[in-house]
C-alpha cells in the first residue's frame, strides 16, 4: 500500500514539475524581448516587454532600461538566457523565472504575463543580480 501511494504521489507531481520547465509554454512576448535584448539592447527589449500593457507609456521603461544598462555595463554583453521555471497561475496568467546570461555573470528576471484574449502582455517584471531578490525559496532549494 505504501508503494502504491508513493507511485500515485510521483504520478501527480511529475507532470506539474515538467510543465513548469516547458519552454514552449513561455509567452512569445518574453522570448521576443530577449531576442531584442541580445540584438539591439535594453531599450528595444523594454519596448517589447511593455508593449500593450498599462506601463507602456510611463517612466518605468526608462528606469528599467537604465537598470538593465547598468547590469550590462558590469557584466558584459547578453549571450543568452535560460528559463528556470514557468508557473501557470490561472488560465490567463503565468509567472516566468529566467536566468539572463552575460559574458561576466548572470542576472535573474521574473515576468508576470497576462493573456488579454489573443495576445500576451507583461504586467510586471523584476530583475536583479541576486537570485534571492527574484526567485522564490522553492526554486532556490528551500521550502
Question: Which helix (H) or strand (E) covers residue 65, if one does?
Answer: helix 60-75
DSSP state of 119: S
Contacts of 130 (CB under 8 A, 6+ apart): 108
DSSP state of 137: T
- Residue 26: the pLDDT is 95
- Residue 103: the pLDDT is 96
Average pLDDT over residues 19-39: 83
Q: How confident is the model at residue 141 (pLDDT cuts 50, 70, 90)?
A: confident
Asked whether residue 108 carries a pLDDT value surpassing 80, the answer given is yes
Per-residue pLDDT tens over the stretch 34-76: 999 999 999 999 999 999 888 777 777 788 889 999 999 999 9
Separation between Cα atoms, residue 2 and residue 83, nearest integer Å: 35
**Burial grade of 38 (CB within 10 A; 0-12, 13-18, 19 or more):** middle
Domains of the chain, first to last: 2-133 (3.10.450.50)
Q: What is the pTM of this model?
A: 0.80
Amino acid at each position: 500500500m505504501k508503494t502504491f501511494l508513493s507511485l500515485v504521489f510521483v504520478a501527480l507531481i511529475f507532470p506539474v514539475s515538467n510543465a513548469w520547465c516547458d519552454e514552449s509554454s513561455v509567452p512569445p512576448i518574453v522570448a521576443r524581448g530577449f531576442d531584442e535584448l541580445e540584438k539591439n539592447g535594453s531599450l528595444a527589449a523594454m519596448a517589447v516587454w511593455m508593449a500593450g500593457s498599462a506601463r507602456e507609456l510611463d517612466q518605468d521603461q526608462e528606469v528599467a532600461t537604465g537598470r538593465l544598462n547598468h547590469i550590462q555595463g558590469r557584466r558584459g554583453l547578453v549571450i543568452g538566457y535560460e528559463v528556470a521555471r514557468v508557473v501557470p497561475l490561472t488560465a490567463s496568467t503565468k509567472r516566468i523565472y529566467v536566468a539572463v546570461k552575460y559574458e561576466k555573470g548572470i542576472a535573474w528576471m521574473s515576468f508576470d504575463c497576462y493573456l488579454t484574449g489573443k495576445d500576451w502582455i507583461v504586467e510586471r517584471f523584476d530583475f536583479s543580480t541576486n537570485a534571492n531578490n527574484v526567485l522564490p525559496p522553492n526554486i532556490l532549494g528551500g521550502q
